[in-house]
Amino acid sequence: MATADTYPHIGLATDGKAVIEGTRYTVEHIAAEQYFYGWSAEEILRQHPDLRPAEVYAALAYFHDHHDSIVAAIEAGKARAEQARGPESVSRDELIQRRAAARGHNG
């Protein structure tokens, strides 16, 4: 893994993605939490107690310095997930009705 010299704690994986060294986290993962949920560094640390403050701040610095390309990757991932999920979604009420019907038949 190559090191991103200007970002301590950040390295580049063989696929070119920025990662927090020694962890399973990509910068894109941390960036998505801030991008979608609006989480501050402090909230990210609360959600991921296995990360150190310096690692989270380095990931966020890398994200903001590469904002456009990382946001594009995040949005592309979101689009792939939505496409994989398919057009049919089931409401909570429909799931409850299905469960009740199944219990009635198994009962």
pLDDT tens digits, residue range 73-91?
999 999 998 888 776 777 8
pLDDT of 2 higher than 60: no
pLDDT at position 106 is 61
Q: Angle at the Cα of 2 (from 62 to 30), degrees rounded to 5?
A: 30
pLDDT tens digits, residue range 31-63?
999 999 999 999 999 999 999 999 999 999 999
The SS3 assignment for 89 reads: coil
As a whole number of angstroms, the distance between CA 71 and CA 61 comes to: 14
Domain architecture of the chain: domains with CATH: 2-106 (1.10.10.10)
pLDDT of 96 higher than 80: yes
Per-residue HEC secondary structure of 17-76 comes to: CEEECCCCCEHHHHHHHHHHHCCCHHHHHHHCCCCCHHHHHHHHHHHHHCHHHHHHHHHH
